[in-house]
Amino acid sequence: MIDFSLTPELLDLSARTAAFVRDRIIPLEGDPRQHAHGPTEELRLELVELAHEAGLVAPHVGREWGGLGLDHVAKAIVFEEAGYSPLGPLALHIGAPDEGNMHLLEQVATEDQKEQYLRPLASGRTRSMFCMTEPDGGAGSDPSMLATRADEQADGSYVINGRKWLITGADGATIAIIMARTFDRSGTDLGASMFLTSADTPGIDMIEVLDTMDSNMTGGHSVVELHDVRVRADQVLGEIGGGFRYAQVRLGPARLTHCMRWLGAARRCHDIAVDYARTRHAFGKPIGEHEGVGFQLADNLTDMTTSRLLIWQCAWVLDQGSQARDESSMAKLYVSEALGRVVDRCVQVLGGTGITGRTVVRRTYEDIRAFRIYDGPSEVHRWAIARRALRG
């Protein structure tokens, strides 16, 4: 039996987060310092400072590095409350890619690397990027197609060349984690490795911020070219050749934290739709009393409750020490599609209002569609789940 009872401390933290988002963050949703590629760095830093005042920055990071040290179940509670506003995850510094990068660094980096990279990142006053996805036949859903390469030099350093794209937050990032296929001095392929470096290292060039439909991440999504980027041997993250293994350390929990945040966003849209259905009248009564609308609200509650239970179950498995690959794949698949349905229904319930900018629903509708693609599209997760089922 899984015990999902919440401690008084966690209930208090959840309530404080909800109040913080309601009272300090939602009023800033109309701030003009937001554009097609997300909130500006100036606005993001102001949000982070508000969260510092509230003692809520980086709740997922260990206390020794400046966070609150929450486990996965506790994160599920707090991240959902933060996701109630599109600016909430930025304020708590738990948005992509930084949240996943901090988790990876905490699990894999050396103590010196944590001091240099994790501690300032956990403060929320710097940002990072994770350079794995590639265009032009390179790594995407199939990471084995990784084309970027790191060649070992005579002095033990590595020179990296390649092209990455859809790199979230690259514009303005100060830290880069780069994944590349590694070759020793004899030309032997040692497998994929990860490297840590400053984003302003010579040869790291952001050449384009892509025009994408979502606008909830500072810095947007960019094309990054790597031209003879030199990194020292002490900038290897983990072991040479361990890149694919470390990618799972990062991506499994990151899929789940996406689910947590988007659940909060979908709940916000549902609350708006319910309020509208109570007050908007048609054919002699509130529209919520018409089955065509009421049933959509019922389906929303069913999808959100099922999503929450799946998230909590997967979080509990992670807290028991398992990588939870099967569970995180199923959670990512189900929750991304279920919450997409929730927000779509909210647009429909709101009618003409739903396609305007008068509520956060339209913005969420545009943002959440991408959730079915990043961190593994639904089709890849279905394929992986089916393959494991057939193996027995």
Token pair 């988007």 is at which residue?
Answer: 262
d(CA 46, CA 62): 23
Q: What is the pLDDT of residue 204?
A: 98
Query: Would the pTM of this model clear 0.85, i.e. be above it?
Result: yes
Q: What is the pLDDT of residue 327?
A: 83
Per-residue model confidence as pLDDT tens digits over 69-128: 999 999 999 999 999 999 999 999 999 999 999 999 999 999 999 999 999 999 999 999
Q: What is the pLDDT of residue 323?
A: 66
Task: Please name every residue paired with 189 in a beta bridge, in sequence order, or none if there are none.
Answer: 183
d(CA 170, CA 218): 9
Token pair of 41, please?
Answer: 């760095």
Q: What is the pLDDT of residue 144?
A: 84
Q: pLDDT confidence of 1, banded at 50, 70, 90?
A: low
Residue 200 is classified by DSSP as T
**Architecture of domain 244-391 in CATH?**
Up-down Bundle (1.20)
Average pLDDT (275-280) is 98
Average pLDDT (324-347) is 92
Provide the H-helix boundaries in 125-242. none
Indicate if the pLDDT at residue 222 is higher than 70.
Answer: yes
CA distances from 295 to 97, 101, 114, 300, 301 (A): 36, 40, 50, 9, 10
Average pLDDT (222-250) is 96
d(CA 130, CA 216): 17
Superfamily name with CATH number, domain 128-241 = Butyryl-CoA Dehydrogenase, subunit A, domain 2 (2.40.110.10)
Residue type, 312: W
d(CA 127, CA 220): 12
Token pair of 91, please?
Answer: 């304020």
Instruction: State the chain's mean pLDDT as an integer.
Output: 95
Q: Cis omega (within 30 of 0) on the bond before 97?
A: yes
- Which of the listed CATH numbers 3.30.930.10, 3.40.50.450, 1.10.540.10, 3.40.50.80 matches domain 8-122? 1.10.540.10
Kindly state the percentage of the chain with pLDDT values over 90: 89
Indicate if the pLDDT at residue 320 is higher than 80.
Answer: yes
Task: Please name every residue paired with 158 in a beta bridge, in sequence order, or none if there are none.
Answer: 152, 231
Q: pLDDT confidence of 241, banded at 50, 70, 90?
A: very high
Task: Determine the straight-line distance between the first and last CA of the chain, rounded to whole angstroms.
Answer: 24
Portions of the chain given CATH number 1.20.140.10? 244-391
CA dihedral over 186, 191, 195, 200, signed as positive or negative? positive
Per-residue model confidence as pLDDT tens digits over 20-57: 999 999 999 999 999 988 999 999 999 999 999 999 99
Token pair of 157, please?
Answer: 């350093």
Q: pLDDT confidence of 328, banded at 50, 70, 90?
A: confident
Indicate if the pLDDT at residue 251 is higher than 90.
Answer: no
d(CA 105, CA 91): 20
Kindly state the percentage of the chain with pLDDT values over 70: 99
Q: Which residue has the higher pLDDT, 392 or 124?
A: 124
Q: pLDDT confidence of 138, banded at 50, 70, 90?
A: confident
| Number of neighbouring beta carbons within 10 Å of residue 53 | 11
d(CA 151, CA 183): 5
Portions of the chain given CATH number 2.40.110.10? 128-241
Indicate if the pLDDT at residue 326 is higher than 90.
Answer: no
341 burial (CB, 10 Å; 0-12 / 13-18 / 19+) is middle
Q: What is the pLDDT of residue 196?
A: 98
d(CA 165, CA 180): 14
Portions of the chain given CATH number 1.10.540.10? 8-122
Average pLDDT (167-187) is 97
d(CA 245, CA 256): 18
d(CA 300, CA 318): 27
